[in-house]
Amino acid sequence: MSLIDTHAPTHAHTPVEDERATVLRIFLSLAVFVAGWATSVVLWGIPGLYIPALALVPVIWVVLLLISRG
């Protein structure tokens, strides 16, 4: 038995792998958000559609302000 870790990765992560992981996290987050919104529409009907959109208005304002400031 050795003290050397045999399960250590043999190669470092490349920038392409890191970018793919980031894109995957973004798409998964987006999918969960859309699925939650669809679930609210199924459960509560039309109010489940427009109340989350109304609640996101301040978020969009902040995003637009951050974009415009550079």
The answer to whether residues 17 and 29 touch, using CB atoms and an 8 Å cutoff, is no
Q: How confident is the model at residue 70 (pLDDT cuts 50, 70, 90)?
A: confident
Helices 46-55 & 57-69 angle (0-180, nearest 10):
30
Q: CB-based contacts of 42: which residues, under 8 Å, 6+ apart?
A: 48
Rounded to two decimals, the pTM is 0.64
To the nearest whole percent, how much of the chain has pLDDT over 90? 71
- Domain spans of the chain, in order of start: 16-69
The answer to whether residues 46 and 54 touch, using CB atoms and an 8 Å cutoff, is no
Residue 50 tokens read as 């427009």
